[in-house]
Every structure is written in C-alpha cells, then in structure tokens.
Structure 1
Amino acid sequence: MGKKIVSLTAMAVAGAASAQSSVTVFGLVDAAVSGFSNRSEDARGARGSVKVSRTALTSGAYNSSRLGFRGTEDLGGGLAAGFWLEAPITNDDGQTGVALFSRRSTLSLSGGFGEIRLGRDYTPIFFNDAALDPFGAVGTGTNLLFTANTTNPAGGAGGFGNSTSYNRASNSIGYFLPPKLGGFYGQAIYAFHEQTKYAPSTLTPAAANNSRTGRYVGARFGYASGPVDVALAFGNANTGDQFFAGTTDSVKTLSLGASYDFGPAKLFGEVSRSSFQRDVEVPPLVPFNDTKLRGYLLGITVPIGVGLIRASYARVRYDQASGARHTSPGDPRTSKVALGYVHNLSKRTALYATLARVSNKNGSALTTGGPAFISTSPFTPRASTGYDLGIRHAF
C-alpha cells in the first residue's frame, strides 16, 4: 500500500512538472573595479578641504548581478499562469544569494485582458528612471534623479522623505495593459500597508508608524512606436504616521520622460518632481514645511560598431521652504555628468568603463558612491568623482 502511494505521488509530481510550458533559470554576473573620491570644503576658506576615497571590487556597476527562476503554464483559452523569483547576488564577496528574492517575487495571471501580478515588484516611477537614462540605476553613472530619491543625505533609514518603496513595492497588486494596443502601454500598482486596525480606534497603540505606513499607489502610461518612447509615471508612498496626532507623511513623485532614436544616436530626457508632505486632521502648533525635490536629466547613446558610447547630464534641487513656487539661491542643489563606453564581446558578454562627477552646493551631499562626505563643521560636501571598469555576462 505504501509503495502505491509513493508511486501515485511521483506520477502526480511528474504530471505537474510536464504541465509547465517553460521553466527558466536566468541571471547576470557583473564585476568591476570602482573608485570613489568625495571632497568637502571649508566654506570660509580657512581650513582648505578634506577628502575621503575608496577603491573596491564591486558587483553590478553596468547591470545589477542577479539569479532568478521564472516559468509559465498555458491554462488554455488564452490564459497563462506565471511566476518570477529574482534574487540579488554580490559576486564580489558571495555573501548575498537566493536566500532573499528582493529584486522581484511575483505570481501572475495573464491573458487578453493584460497581466495581474501579486507580490514584490518594480514601481512605475522606477521604470521611467531605469529606461530613460543611458546609465539606468546602477554604477557610478546612476540616474541622479534616482539617487536623490533613494538617498537620505542627512542619514537615517530610507531615501527622500524616508521613503523605502521608491523603486520596489512589497505586498502589491499590479496590473499591466495588454501589449497590442497600437503602441500604448501602462500599469497600475497598489501595495497594502498591512497595518493592524483596531475597533474601537482608541485601542490603537500610541506608537509611531503603525497605522498607515507602507501603503503605495502608482501608475505609468506611455506610448512607444518606431523611434519614439514617452511615458508619464506617478507614485505616492506613505512613509510615516502618528495615529493620535492625526498625521500622515507621504512622498508623491511625478516623472515625465522620453527617448528618440535617430539611428546614429539615441536621445533621452526626464523631468521629475517629488514632494515630502504631511497631511494633518488638526493644524499643528508648529507648521510642517513641505520639502520638494525637482530635477531633470539629458542623455545620449551613440552606437559605434559593436560598442556604445553613453553620456548624461542631470541636475536636482531641494526646495526646503513652504510654498509650491518658492525657490531660493540658497537651496541645496546637485549636478552630475557621466560618460561611459560599452564594448560588446558577444550578445551576453560586455566590457565597460564609466566615469562620473557630482558637484554639490548649499549642503546637498549626493555622491557617485563609496564613503559618505565629511560634513562636520566647518566642512561642506562639494565634489564626488567615481569610475567603473568592469565586465558583464548574462545567462
């Protein structure tokens, strides 16, 4: 009897395996020698400048290193079920692997209606940053708009406005439009905050960030046809709350980007605006000044034989005073220029080099990577330079 049960179990497993129309193991390994140098200056000129630098073997300077598993099953009638589990790997030290599928972990159902995804996925804003900058969101040439939104120069957890879901959102339900819509495409996503609700509400514990923090809503719509690709994206992340004070902190981001492929060159452009604000049920005694982050970038890629030249220029500015139209010469601001070359040895393997420089003013402290600036008085962050020399192989 036991042998029969084992045999039936084996047959069931074999049948389930054969029902899968495709299962793929995929990945990418990227390694580079990277250098970083971040210089701070004495604004009074009395003590000159100080510098911190670092040289390292890094992982994912051209494309993020990863290992993943994906599969689909044809359900008939135009329906398909699918899964995608993608883990980051750090091949420079081997310490990060498939224990965490934090890059993407989704289960999906697709058909003529489009695709529904459940799990941890990329946000609509991230797709604009990654697709509309020649350097994407990795390496020393990383999209400056992405860096500014995912970095908290003052320290502490999270990025701009303490947001931790700018590029990915956990516990989400996403919808993607079907592909054959005359060039139009789009997606929408909602991520649950998964906080506990109490009835009556007065039972809610008097603790910070336990009522609405974690919720994310976003959408992206675009048009791509021939050489043109243009997209508008929006995201709203709840980053903090105080239930009994009646406050909710959120970061709202709007991004508009486009690219145009002339053939001899491809042009990129993106403008972005993020706002860190606090919604209150009762006006506080001490006003909360919204902080806004505005920026733009211009980029170009030029194919030369099997190679590709990449270049970009970007600027961001922090508006730390209340009032949507308020700007000041004293607002923190940063500019970045990046230049790179990719030499494709094959469809899967490439050599690359990138050089980038970041310039900061008025207390902004963004870098190309590496160690943080020395920012203790009287020193102020100024310039950051970085380079990557590496090889990438995809499988």
Structure 2
Amino acid sequence: MKKSLTAIAALAVTGLAAAQSSVTMFGVVDAGVSYQSATSRDAATGASSKQTRTTLSNSGYNSSRIGFRGTEDLGGGLAASFWLEAPITNDDGATGISTFNRRSTVSLSGGFGELRLGRDYTPTFWNDTVFDPFGTNGSGTNVISSVNGSTGLNNTNYVRASNSIGYFLPPNLGGFYGQLQYSLHENTDSSTAADTASTNSNAGRYIGGRFGWANGPLDVAVSAGQNIAVDTLALTRKVQTINLGASYDFGPVKLFGELSNVQNKFDTALGNAHDSYNGYLIGATVPVGAGLIRASYSTVRYNEGAAGITGEDPRVQKLALGYVHNLSKRTALYATVARVNNRNDAAYTGSLSSAITTGYSSNGVSYTGLPRSSTGYDFGIRHAF
C-alpha cells in the first residue's frame, strides 16, 4: 500500500511537470562607475556652488534584476503563465529577492488576447522607455521620464501600478497592438473621513491604455492615462498623461521621437488649478560593428502656476551620448555622458541625483538657487542570463 501511494505521488509529480511547458530563471547584473556634478547659482546674491559625486552604481545600461517566469499549455489555444521579477542592487548586495515589485503577474491568454493580473508596467510609461535610445536607464534617461517620475508630482503609478487588471490585444492583428489597464486603489471609503486625497477612496487609482502599430521598420504608439495622486494639501489631485512615440529603422540608423503632455490637476478648497509639462524627445542609434552608438536630446517646458516657478520660458534640456560594445549576446560594455541645462528656474528632478535638491551648502554658506547645469558619466558592464 505504501509503495502504491509512493508510485501514485510520483506519477502526479511527473504529470504536473509535463503540463508545465516551460519555467525560466532570468536576470541582469549591471554595474558601473558613475560621476555626477551639479552647479547652482543663488538668484539673490549671485553666489554659485558646485557638488560632485562618484559612485559604483548599478543599472546604468539595463536595470539589474532577477526573475522567474513560466507558461502552461492548457489546450484548446489557452495558456496560463506567471512572471515574478525582483530588483537587485549588485553594487552593494543590500537588495535581493526581498520583493517582486518590478513585476508580479499571473495571466490567462488565448485567441482573445491576454488577461493579466498583478503589479505591472503602466501603458503610459511604455512610450517613455521604448522610444528612448537609452531605455530610461542611467545618466542618459530622457527628461520626460525624469520629470514625470519626480517627487514633486508624487505620481507613484508612473512606472508601475499595483493591484492592476490588464488586457492585451492578441498578437495576430497585422501589426496592431494595444493594452488597457485599471489599478484598484483598495482604500476604504469613509463618510466621516476628512476630504483629502490621502483619505479619498480613489487615491492611488490608475486607469490607462496604449495602442500602436509595428510593421517592418516602423513602430508608432499613443497612450493616455490618469492617476489619482496622494496629496495631503489638495482635496483631489489627478496626474493625466498623454504621449505619442515613434521609431523608424533605416538600417544604418534608427530614429526615435516622442511628444508628451502631463497635466497635474488640483482640486483645492480655494478652487481648481493645474500645472502642465510639455516635452519632446528626438534620438538615434547607429550600429557600428559589434557596437551601438546612442544619442538623444530631450526637453520639458514647465508651466507651474501652483508650484510658483517663474521665468519667461522655464524648461529643462538634456543631451546624452553613449556607446555600447557587445562582447557577446549576453555581455556588453557601455559608456554614457549626459548634460542637463535648466532655464529660468525649471526645477529638474532626475537621474543625475546630485541635481535633484533645490538648496546647497558649501563652506558653511547655504545657497537656495536651483541647479543651473548638471553632468553625468557612466562606465560599466552588463551581463544578462
């Protein structure tokens, strides 16, 4: 009897293993030396200050990560799959598989498309990263992405949204693709709570979509989304995004472009107000033997009536240039240099981390001016498995 039970258990395990058509462990380990500097000037006194920092960083080319994904063929054209992906900080080893907050989803797919549940990338983020030659990584990250993800907007659902329900079109539509996503806020609605966005039952909710067409060398997509941001000052704050991106591969050179508009809308006790951020990006990649040259120019114009930024034309501009040398399909060396310029008090908050503060202290003297210019360099190695 005992042997029979053992045999039945073994057959059951064998059957499960056969049904699970694929399980894959994957990851990226990326490390490099980064140098960052920022110069500011006090508007009142004219005094200037410079800060610099050199670090051994990670994710300068691709984000360091480790993950597991699998697919089971259910028959009849149906498949179930999962994806669990965790960030890692290989430069200090402090962050390992403690969370799967890069992505944690379970899916059911078939001829109808794919239904995906869990934490996933938002549709409005995809255009910012797909049509950026630097893939929103390292010092070359475009300023559209940096401003949209800044602490000032507090748009926690900019890159990813938790508790989301997503639908993806099937891949056999002649190049057309698309997705819709709704993120549940999971808050308790209380009729006695103060009416602020931090207690609003909709705070943290995201809804968005992205639709595009990719055929041959051309890829073009438009996306739109809205996030209810948590804010203790405003009664309700909505961050609304719409962007349009495209790329065209000519062979010797691949061109990229994006237009973006973000509206930061406030509903306060004193009335309604909104800030707007209009940006665009142009870029290119050029294959050179085993390497790839990358270049981009991006800019965002600020209209922050609520935030009080002044100037005739407040904007931030960024020029980035990089080179990737592929030692193999999985291993690459990379180098990037980027330069940021702020005009008329545009408050840039981005990946050149020494430029994100609005005040400086040097030799016991405090400066309140915003950063006027910033420079970043990355030199590193990326290995994927």
TM over 0.5: yes
Q: CA deviation at 1:74?
A: 0.3
Query: Which of residues 290, 293, 306 is equivalent to 1:309?
Result: 293
Q: Does 1:178 align with 2:170?
A: yes
Amino acid corresponding to residue 190 of structure 1 in structure 2: Y
In the other structure, the counterpart of 2:198 is 209
Tell whether the 8 Å contact from 2:197 to 2:237 is kept in structure 1 after alignment: no
> How is 1:286-325 mapped onto 2 (pairs within 5 angstroms)?
286-321=270-305
Task: Within 5 Å, give how 1:33-52 maps onto structure 2.
Answer: 33-44=33-44, 46-47=46-47, 49-52=48-51
Q: Which residue of 1 aligns with 2:179?
A: 187
Matched with 2:91 is: 92
Over 3 Å counting, the alpha-carbon distance change for 1:208 and 1:312 in structure 2 is: closer
Q: CA 1:265–1:99 in 2, change beyond 3 Å: closer, same or farther?
A: same
Does the Cα contact within 8 Å between 2:147 and 2:348 map onto a contact in 1? no
Once the two structures are superposed, residues 300-336 of structure 1 have per-residue CA deviations (whole angstroms, 9 ceiling, x without a partner) of 11111111100000110111138xxxx9843531000
- Deviation at 1:144? 1.2
User: Contact 1:358–1:366 (CA<8 Å) still a contact in 2?
Assistant: no
Query: Is 1:223 equivalent to 2:213 in the alignment?
Result: yes
Structure 1: distance between partners of 2:350 and 2:159: 19
The one-letter code sitting in structure 1 at the alignment partner of 2:301 is: R
Residue 351 (structure 1) shift:
0.5
Question: What's 1:59 paired with?
Answer: 58
Opposite residue 18 of structure 1, the aligned amino acid is: A
* 3-state DSSP of counterpart to 1:140: helix
* C-alpha distance in structure 2 between counterparts of 1:34 and 1:55, whole Å: 6
Alignment of 1:38-187 (within 5 A): 38-44=38-44, 46-47=46-47, 49-152=48-151, 160=153, 162-187=154-179
The one-character-per-residue Cα deviations of 1:42-70 (angstroms, maximum 9, x if unpaired) are 335642x1111110111110000110000
Name the residue aligned to 2:369. Answer: 379
Query: 1:390 and 2:370 equivalent?
Result: no
Q: How far has the Cα of 1:299 moved from its partner?
A: 0.3
Report the RMSD for the aligned CA atoms in angstroms: 2.3
Deviations 1:122-172 (A, max 9, x none): 0111110111010011100012111010012xxxxxx52x21001100000
Give distance in 1, aligned partners of 2:140 and 2:350. Answer: 10
- How far apart are the structure 1 equivalents of 2:195 and 2:282? 47
Kindly tell me: are residues 14 and 203 of structure 1, through their superposed partners in 2, closer, same or farther at Cα, counting changes over 3 Å?
farther
Give 1:288 deviation, angstroms.
3.6
> Which of 345, 349, 360 lines up with 2:331 in the alignment?
349
TM-score, normalisation: structure 1: 0.89
For the structure 1 residues 297 and 208, does the alpha-carbon distance in structure 2 shift closer, same or farther, using more than 3 Å as the test?
closer
Q: Structure 1, residues 226-246: CA drift from partner, whole Å, max 9, x if none?
A: 11110001110011378xx99
Q: Distance in 2 between matches of 1:366 and 1:388?
A: 18
SS for the counterpart of 1:21 is strand
Q: Provide the C-alpha distance between the structure 2 equivalents of 1:145 and 1:207, rounded to a whole number of angstroms.
A: 28
Contact 1:78 1:112 in 2 (8 A): yes
Whole-angstrom distance in 2 between the partners of 1:241 and 1:381: 26
1:377 deviates by 4.5
Amino acid at match of 1:346: S
Output the CA distance in 2 between the equivalents of 1:208 and 1:260: 42
Q: When the two structures are aligned, how many residues end up with a matched partner?
A: 374
**What's the secondary structure of 1:96's corresponding residue?**
coil
Question: Which residue of 2 is the match for residue 24 of structure 1?
Answer: 24
CA contact (8 A) 1:368 1:385 kept: no
Gapped runs of 5+ residues in structure 1?
153-158
Give the whole-Å Cα distance in 1 for the aligned partners of 2:29 and 2:142: 21
> Identity over the aligned pairs, expressed in percent?
57
| 1:109 positional shift | 0.4
- 2:301–2:313: 8 Å Cα contact kept in structure 1? yes
8 A Cα contact 1:108 1:115, kept in partner: yes
Letter in 2 for 1:141: G
Normalising by the residue count of structure 2, what TM-score does the alignment of the two structures yield? 0.91
